[in-house]
Amino acid sequence: MFAEKLQKRGEAQWTIEPFGKMRVPVTVFADEGLIREMDEQVYQQAANVAALPGIVTASYAMPDAHWGYGFPIGGVGAFDPDEGGIISAGGVGFDISCGVRALRTGLTLDHIKGNEKELADILARRIPAGVGSSGKLRVSSLEMDEMLQGGALWAVEQGYGHRSDLLRIEEYGRMLGAEPRYVSDHAKGRQEKEVGTLGSGNHYLEVQRVTAVYNDELARAFGVGLNDITIMIHCGSRGLGHQIATDYLARMIKVAKEQGIELADRDLACAPIKSDVGRQYYGAMCAGINCALANRQVLTHLTREAFAELFPRANLTLIYDVSHNTCKVEEHTIDGQRKKLYVHRKGATRAFGPGHPSLPQDLQASGQPVLIGGTMGTASFILAGTAEGMDLAFGSCCHGAGRAMSRSQATKRWHGKDIVMHLAQKGIIIKGASPRGIAEEAPGAYKDVTTVVDATEIAGLARKVARLEPLICVKG
């Protein structure tokens, strides 16, 4: 019923004009092929978001959009606090600040050739991953609050990494506005042993090789070249973030009911930005972002230790660190007026264009590096934010490939061991605890990441800089 209302607005842009309870249109960024394959529920969910109070301009779906809890994954929505705007735990997702960090190594393919297996073993030994793993770091309740305030800066102060790392992390590694007092003891309890762990599911640490450079100038600005060895870490805020989402969804359902906010489904649960629960969720969610930033910082340190063991001349430096499950307060121009908006990006990456004040000096000309994680058998991409993208979707773009198939379908179709063997033939080493976990994450269970990234570029949301292909994948 929604798909037939789609109107083509450009080569990779479609809209659904408001109808029923929608306050603004839905805008979908995708090429014709992706539109044909898009789950109808994405449109329904994006339309549900378009009906929430205080939404500004449009409810957006990125090229990798698929069904999510409440908001679609690949969904973006900005809300104006002065117009009764809401903040939604479902609009951020269960894995608060799940994101991607990419590192240069100072090595090229020639340096690591012949040592791949040993490197894979060392990484698998040093990086805690999967169910039942726990970090070496134990965080007491006092330190927990400091971590939730300090993010990656806290981790650097504890000896995990360098201050220069912080210049290549969104918010310079520390999200302001975090209020650990609004994070429950349950949430903190889940994190005590999980700092510096990868998690499971679609999370991973990959050693990759740069296999294509699309834009020499931007690649130089980001410090990557053909055949460079890079690392990508994909993970989030672990148990703490999951528990914050669980806690606040339950509270927001009650608040939405009291405030007469009509919810098309309960996972859309939200509260007015200017309400106690709204403010408390924002403070807790910012703490969740810091937790994820600290986590990726500790994992970076462990990766550096692993590389140092085998390659004394390796120098691991950050290309960038992006979060793709967040709500952030940002200034955007709406009808010629500057406004402070609460921008929800769920399975969507911030992609600020050149000249944005939040970017460090040396990235002012290039725009923000945008990191798109692929699946273990395919490719990942580095993109750059565009000036055009700032007006198209509040400076946002896709975040990955996006699932095309359910986990149970994937396990019926593939066996973990076959996948590991098939990828080994392609020169990719997989390290993961369980065959079923690997089967669930089979590359074929995802959309084609190249198509997603191409549609993102055609739409103008970001431009391609480099393509990265995996050599080693440590699965969570």
Partner 1 sequence: MTEAHWELYSHPSDIGVRGVGPTREEAFAQAALALTSVITELGKVQAEEAVDIECKEDDEELLFLCWLSALLYEMDTRGMLFSRFEVEAVAGGIKARAWGEPVDVARHEPAVEVKAATYADLKVARGGDGVWLAQCIVDV
Q: Looking at 242, 301, 356, 399, which residue is catalytic?
A: 399
- Tokens describing residue 229: 């060895």
Query: What are the C-alpha distances in Å from 125 to residues 121, 129, 417?
Result: 6, 9, 20
CB 243, min distance to partner 1, A: 7
Number of residues that bind partner 1 (CB under 8 A): 47
Out of 6, 44, 67, 146, which residue is the one contacting partner 1 (CB under 8 A)?
67
Residue type, 250: A
- Tokens describing residue 181: 């007092």
- Tokens describing residue 112: 């690591």
Closest CA to 390 of 25, 78, 72, 9: 78
d(CA 35, CA 193): 42
* Contact criterion met (CB below 8 Å) for 79 and 265: no
Binding mask 264-283 for partner 1 (x = CB under 8 A): -xxx-x--------------
Out of 422, 435, 444, 450, which residue is the one contacting partner 1 (CB under 8 A)?
435
**Cβ neighbours of 352 (radius 10 Å):** 25
Out of 34, 63, 66, 278, which residue is the one contacting partner 1 (CB under 8 A)?
66
Q: Which stretch binds partner 1 (CB under 8 A): 1-9, 56-64, 247-255, 301-309?
A: 247-255
Binding mask 79-108 for partner 1 (x = CB under 8 A): ---------------xx-------------
CA 254, distance to chain mean position in Å, is 28
Buried-exposed string 315-335: b where 16+ CB fall within 10 A, e elsewhere: ebebbbbbbbbbbbebebeee
Q: Which stretch binds partner 1 (CB under 8 A): 164-172, 194-202, 206-214, 327-335?
A: 194-202
Active site residue 399: yes
Counting contacts by CB under 8 A, is residue 409 touching partner 1?
yes
Closest CA to 326 of 363, 302, 291: 291
Q: Which stretch binds partner 1 (CB under 8 A): 155-163, 236-244, 304-312, 417-425?
A: 236-244
d(CA 352, CA 395): 5
Out of 243, 300, 325, 349, which residue is the one contacting partner 1 (CB under 8 A)?
243
Catalytic residues: 399
Binding residues for partner 1, rule: CB under 8 A, are 39, 41, 66-69, 73, 94-95, 130-134, 186, 189-190, 192-194, 199-201, 239, 242-243, 245-246, 249-250, 253, 265-267, 269, 403, 406-409, 433-437, 440, 476
